[in-house]
A and B are shown apart, each in its own frame.
Chain A
Amino acid sequence: MSDHVDPAELQKHVKKYIFIGLLLIFFTAVTVALSYVELPTHSLNIIVGMIVATFKAALVALIFMHLNHERPLIYKVLAFTAVFCFVLFVLFVMANSDPLVDHGFEKPLQSIEQATP
C-alpha cells in the first residue's frame, strides 16, 4: 500500500473486506455441506474440498493480505517459497513410484499373478 490513502477509498475497502468475510463464511458452509455428500469416490470429495479451500485461501491472500497489489520485491520472495512447496508436494508423487517396477527392471506384480492360478 502507498503512504497516503484517500479516506473515501479506504471506506470502500472496508466494505469490500466485510463482503469477502461473508463470502468466506458462505464457502465454509459449502465445504461442510459438500463433505457430507457421497461422491463416487472419496478422493473426489477431497479434491472438491481442496479446490474450495484453495479458493478461500486465495481470497484471504489477495484481499486481506493485499497481495493483489504489492511491490515486486514481495512476489520475488514468495517465488522461492512457491518452488520449495511445489517440490514438497511432488515428493509424494516420487515416493509413490518405484523405479524398479516403473522402468521395467522387475515385474513383481505380474509374477504374483502368474503364481496364483
Chain B
Amino acid sequence: MDIPYTVHARPDTGLYNAKVGIWLFLASEVMLFGGLFSSYIFLRVGADYPWPVHELNVTLGCINTVVLIASSVSVVWAWAALKMRQFGLYKGLMLFTVLCAVTFMVNKTFEYKAKFEHYAVKLTDGTILTGHLPHGYQIKFGEVNQLAMSIPLKTAAVGADPINYVLNHLDAGATPRFKTEDGKEITLDAATFAELKSAAIEKAKVAKQNTAGLKLTAVSPLSFTVGESDVFAYDASTMTFRDGTVAYGKLADDKMTIEVDGVDTRGVAVKEKSLAFDHRYLGEAWQKAFVANRDHLTVEFDKNYPTRDKTKSATFQKEAYFLHLESTTPPAAEGHGNGHGAEAHAPAAHGDGHGGHHPTVVLEKKDITFFSNFTPKLNTYYAIYFTLTGLHGLHVVAGALVLAYFLFFNGKMMREDPEHLANRVEVGGLFWHFVDLVWIFLFPLLYLL
C-alpha cells in the first residue's frame, strides 16, 4: 500500500502530508526549547553569583555557528539541486551537510572535555580559585593498624565489602596481611573475607545481635590514598569508607594541590585581602599584581566612562576582580603582558586553550567550602548550559542521521522518484534549519551576553 500524498499536495491542505507532519513536530519543538529558554531567564535573574559572560570558548562557538549556517545553506541548496535533477551536486551538498554536523559535534566534544577537566574551588571567604587538579583531590591516610567492619544481618543499604571499597585504595606494594580476633594470620582477599563473614554472622546469630562485627588488626601498618568521593567521612584518626568499613590510623595529608589559572574575588568583601593572597598560597607578589591590574583598569574605566558607576559594570567587575594567572610568577609591576617566570614548573598539558604555566598552590582542607569541575554541579549557569547545549547536540546528531540516511540509502528513490526524495530532503532540511535557528539564540545567550 502506498502512503497517500507523499509527492503531490493534498487538495484540502495544499501540502504533501510529510510537510504537515514536520511542522506539527517543529511547533512542539519550539515549545520545548521555549520552556528551556524561559528557565534560562529565571535562572539568570535569580542567580546569586555574577553570571558568566565570555567564559566559554568564544572562538569555538563562533566556528560552530558558521559551520551550522553553512550546513543550512547546503541542505536547502541540495534540495534545489534535486528539484533541478542535478544528482551529483545534490550528493556533494548532502555530504557537506553531514560533515558539518560531524565537525560541530567534534568541536562540542572538545568544549565539554575542557569543562570536565577544569575546576573551581570556593574558599571560606568567598574567593573562587579556578584551575586544574593535577592528581585529582586525594586524601592520604597512613599508619592504619586496624579495620572495623559491620555486617548487617537484615537487608541494609550498606554492608561491609572491603575487597571492592577498601583494598583497591591500598598504596601500591603493600600486602593486606591481617590478624583476626582469634589470632589467626590471613591475607585478606575475596575468599578469606567470605569465610570470616560467615563465621561472624554465625556468632552474631547465636548472640541474637542485629549486626555482625569484624575486627582485623594489620600485621604491619598500611597506608591508603583515597579520592574524596570514595569516603563517607574522615578525621585525624579514623576514616570511614563507602562500605562502612572504618580504618584506624593517622591522617597523613588531605591538602588539595591546584594549578591556579584564575582568582575570582567578586564574592569577597575586601578584594585585595582575599584568602588566595595568603602567604601560604599565592602570596604578596600576586597580590601586588592583582592591585596593579585593578588600579590600571580603574583609571582606564574612569577615563573612558567618567559618568558610569563601576559597581554596576559587570565587565569592570569581572576584569578588575577576576585575575587570570598566565605565568608561574607574577608579571613585572608595570607591564601587564605575561612575563614568564624564570623558575617555570614542568609544563602541564591541559586542553583548556589557555596553555602556559600556572602557579601551583596547596590548599588546606579547612579553607575549602566547595569544589567542583565546570559541570551542572558548579552553578545554575552550567546546569542550563549543559541542558540546552546537550539537548541541542542530540538534535544535531538526529538531524545528521536522517540526512545521512537520505544520502546513503535512498539512491534508488533518487533515480526513480526524485520528486518524492526532494520532499523528504525538504522535510529533513526544515528540521535542520530549526536546529540552526535554536543555535542562533544559544550562541549569544551562553557565550557572549
Contact = CB atoms under 8 A, between A and B. Distances in A.
Interface of A: 1-3, 5, 7, 10-11, 13-14, 17-18, 20-21, 24-25, 28, 31-32, 35-36, 38, 40-42, 45-46, 49-50, 52-53, 56-57, 60-61, 64-65, 71-74, 77-78, 80-81, 84-85, 88-89, 91-92, 95-96
A71 B44 CA distance: 38
A13 B433 contact: no
A42 B65 contact: no
Interface string B34-77: 11011001100100000001100010001001100110110011
Contacts of A46: 449
B14 interface: yes
A9 B419 CA distance: 17
Interface string B5-31: 001110001110001100110011011
A88 B66 contact: no
29 contacts: A3-B8, A10-B83, A14-B77, A18-B73, A24-B69, A32-B448, A35-B54, A50-B444, A52-B444, A53-B440, A53-B443, A57-B441, A60-B72, A60-B433, A60-B436, A71-B13, A71-B15, A72-B14, A73-B20, A74-B15, A78-B30, A81-B27, A84-B34, A88-B34, A88-B37, A89-B38, A92-B38, A92-B41, A92-B42
A32 B58 contact: yes
Nearest to A10: B80
A60 B77 contact: no
A89 B33 CA distance: 12
Given A71-B14, A71-B15, A77-B24, A21 B73 contact: yes
A34 to B, nearest CB: 8
Contact of A89 (B15, B27, B41, B65): B41
A35 B437 contact: no
A18 B81 CA distance: 13
Q: How large is the interface on B (under 10, 10 to 19, 20 to 34, 35 or more residues)?
A: 35 or more
Interface stretch (B233-241, B311-319, B359-367, B392-400): B311-319
B302 to A, nearest CB: 13
Contacts of A7: 83-84
Contacts, number: 141
Interface of B: 7-9, 13-15, 19-20, 23-24, 27-28, 30-31, 34-35, 37-38, 41-42, 45, 53-54, 58, 62, 65-66, 69-70, 72-73, 76-77, 80-81, 83-84, 304-305, 308, 312-315, 419, 426, 429-430, 433-434, 436-437, 440-441, 443-444, 448-449
A24 B69 CA distance: 7
A80 to B, nearest CB: 7
Contacts of A81: 27-28, 30-31, 34
DSSP class of A's interface residues: helix, strand, loop or mixed?
helix
Given A21-B72, A71-B13, 19 more contacts: A3-B7, A14-B80, A28-B69, A31-B448, A36-B54, A38-B305, A38-B315, A49-B444, A53-B441, A53-B444, A57-B437, A60-B433, A60-B437, A65-B434, A77-B20, A77-B24, A81-B30, A85-B31, A92-B38
B29 to A, nearest CB: 9
DSSP class of B's interface residues: helix, strand, loop or mixed?
helix
Contacts of B449: 35, 42, 45-46, 49-50
Query: Which of A20, A42, A96 has the most chain B CB within a 10 Å cutoff?
Result: A42
A97 B303 CA distance: 38
A71 B10 CA distance: 12
B73 A38 contact: no
A72 B13 CA distance: 8
A5 to B, nearest CB: 6
